[in-house]
Structure formats: C-alpha cells, structure tokens
Amino acid sequence: MGDFASVVWDIFTSEATYTIGALFAALLLFGAAGELVAERAGTINISVEGMLLAGAFGGAVGFDLTDSVAVGVLFGIGGGMAVASVQAEMSHRLAADQFVVGLTLNILVLGLVGFLDHELAPVAHKAAAWRVPLFADLPLVGEALFGQPWPFYLVYLCVPVTWWLLFRTRWGLEVRSSGEDPRSADLSGIDVNKRRRQSIYLTGLMSGLGGAFLLFAQVGVFDDGMVGGRGFIAIAAVIFGGWTLKGTIAGSVLFASALSFRLSLQAQGYEGINSELLQALPFLLTIAGMAIFAKRVRPPAALARPFIRGLK
C-alpha cells in the first residue's frame, strides 16, 4: 500500500494532474451548465452528447475552411445549435418524445460526422495557450486555471452567465416556472414551449462551445470518438448536483477529478487499480449519488413531461 500512497502523492503534487483535471472539468461544465438550464425548463436533454460532438466537428470544419480558431469556435457553436434545433423543435413544437429524439440525434450525429469526417484535411489544430501573468505562476493550480489555451477561459464566462440568466433575469424565472408548473406558467402568459426550446438552444450554444473547446484546447485532432460519453457525464453532473448550479459545478469537478486521476495513475504506470473500473467511477458515483439522494433532492416537478395546453 505504501507504493500506492507514494503514487497518489506524486499525482497530487504534479501540475499535470491539475491541468488535465481543469480541462476535463471545463468540458463537463460547458455541457452541464447548458443542460442545467434545459432541465430546469423541463427537458432531460440527452442529445447534449451529440451537441458536444457536433460542436467539435463544427470547429474542425470552421478551422478547415479558414485556418482560424476563432471561426472554428463560431462554427462549433453552429454545430451545437443545429442539433439543438432538431431536439427543440421536435420535442417542444411537435411534442415527440424527448428521449427518443435525443437518443436518435446522438446516433445520427455520430453517423453524420463519421460520414463527413473524410472530407476534412487531417491536420492538427490546437489553440495557443494564453498565460495570465502572475496567476499562472501560482503553485500547482496556476497552470491549470490560468495557463490554458484561450477557449478554456470561455468557461469562466459561461458559468456565471448561466447563473445570472437562470436566477436573476425574468427569462430565468419563466424558464424555472416552465419546468415546475407549465400549466400555471401558461396561465400567467408564458409561452412554455418557447422557453423550453430556448433553453435547449442555450444548451446547444454552450455545448457547441464545449465541443470546439475540446477540439482546440484539449485534443487538437478531430475524431468521432472524442466525446466518448462525456455528454452523459455532464447530464449526470446536473442530476448529481441536485439541479442546482453549485451542485452541478461540484459534480463536474468531482467527475473530472476522477477522470484525471485515472489518467495520471496510468501515466505513472501504476497497475494496482484497474483502469477500466476507474473509468466507470464517475458513472458509479452518479448512480450511488442518485440512489442516496433521489428521495431528498427534488427535481423540477415537470421534468421530462411534455406540455400541451389543456392536457395534463
């Protein structure tokens, strides 16, 4: 066990652990912050996985066309929004089952990018790192939080903006009431399905950003397996966090730590803990968390229930 303890010590004292962890956490947060808004409006938006992938692919296309990371990021947003538009319009205009739509979209996006992948020139495109003076020199976490490629810093914008939108604006109030009691919201003059659609578009926007971030700040080369279920982990983070922003951030950071810890263990060549089981850890944590808290945490009352005026 002494061996394990020293490995853990090495991991916790290595800057790389934190740098990788921060990147993982940022990706989860891009997805989860938007997902939180969608869920507070009443949608379990499973297509966030597809939105992330579409964002990454959009980024690659944008870069392919213009050689500019900034344009790539914009294209990434477009990719996320495209997926969001299908999810939003089909589940909250046509009232098709949101899970069915989300699931199909995930599969469709995977197929689409797999099909179109070959049109792209296989070049590496990674954004340059921006070091924030002084802060980046902080021990251990300085690099992780302030020495990353520039798309990383967008997460510092996304999270507070989500908070502000959801809890400080009229729009947020209307979104929350749409997720809690769509009938009352409707009687009060709120277009419930419009708010729900908008919240999904917001998820698309942020996940699109997240996908572009994944491409430009983390991986560098597009690959159709690059998201690899982390959209689902983002959903798990929202639920694990009890549908609060604080909880969602905590969930994202916790799951990112688990992912980063696993990578670091591998990097250290430690074989004592099986890496497959570690990889399953975020999922197991979420399931355990839900089993423990499900009866105490209250989801939005109308979560996953379609709203059609006059129908319960």
Which residue lies nearer to other proteins by CB, 131 or 168? Answer: 168
- CA–CA distance from 165 to each of 162, 169, 175, 233 (Å)? 5, 5, 10, 23
65 binds other proteins (CB under 8 A): no
280 binds other proteins (CB under 8 A): yes
Select 131 or 284, whichever has its Cβ closest to other proteins. Answer: 284
Residue 138 or 290: which CB sits closer to other proteins?
290
The single residue among 7, 70, 103, 273 that binds other proteins, judged by CB under 8 A, is 103
The answer to whether 251 and 238 have CB atoms below 8 angstroms apart is yes
Q: Phi/psi of residue 104, each to 5°?
A: -60, -40
Residue closer to other proteins (CB basis): 148 or 207? 207
Site for other proteins in 145-204 (CB under 8 A): 168-170, 173-174, 176-177, 180-181, 184-191
Q: 229's torsion region: left (phi>0), alpha (psi -120 to 50) or beta? A: left
Continuous H helices in 117-229: 142-146, 154-168, 170-180, 182-187, 192-213
Cβ atoms of 256 and 21 within 8 Å: the answer is yes
Instruction: Kindly tell me which of 6 and 65 has the beta carbon lying closer to other proteins.
Output: 65
Place of tokens 């696993």: 262
3-state secondary structure of 129: strand
Kindly state the smallest distance separating residue 256's Cβ from other proteins, in Å: 16
Cβ burial 266-298 (10 Å sphere, 16+ → b, else e):
eeeebeeeeeeebeebbeebbeebeeeeeeebe
The yes or no reply on residue 274 touching other proteins (CB under 8 A) is yes
CB of 247 to other proteins, least distance (A): 15
Q: Report the nearest approach of other proteins to the CB of residue 303 (Å).
A: 9
Nearer to other proteins, 64 or 180 (CB): 180
List the interface residues with other proteins, window 200-229 (CB under 8 A): 229
Which of left, alpha, beta for 115 (phi over 0: left; psi -120 to 50: alpha)? alpha
Other C-beta atoms lying within 10 Å of the C-beta of residue 184 = 12
Residue 168 half-sphere exposure toward CB, CA atoms < 13 A:
6
Could you say whether residue 283 binds other proteins (CB under 8 A)?
yes
Size of the site for other proteins (CB under 8 A): 69
Binding of other proteins by 110 (CB under 8 A): yes
Burial of 36 (0-12, 13-18, 19+ CB in 10 A): buried
Q: Which of 88, 239, 254, 265 binds other proteins (CB under 8 A)?
A: 239
Whichever of 12 and 115 has its CB closer to other proteins, that residue is 115
- Of these, 65, 123, 157, 301, which contacts other proteins (CB under 8 A)? 301
Q: Does residue 46 belong to the site contacting other proteins (CB under 8 A)? A: yes
Tokens of 225: 């397996």
Which range, of 64-72, 102-110, 123-131, 212-220, touches other proteins by CB under 8 A?
A: 102-110
Q: Which residues bind other proteins (CB under 8 A)?
A: 44, 46, 86, 90, 94-97, 99-101, 103-105, 107-108, 110-112, 114-119, 168-170, 173-174, 176-177, 180-181, 184-191, 229, 232, 235-236, 239, 274, 276-277, 279-280, 283-284, 286-287, 290-291, 294-295, 298-301, 304, 308, 310-312
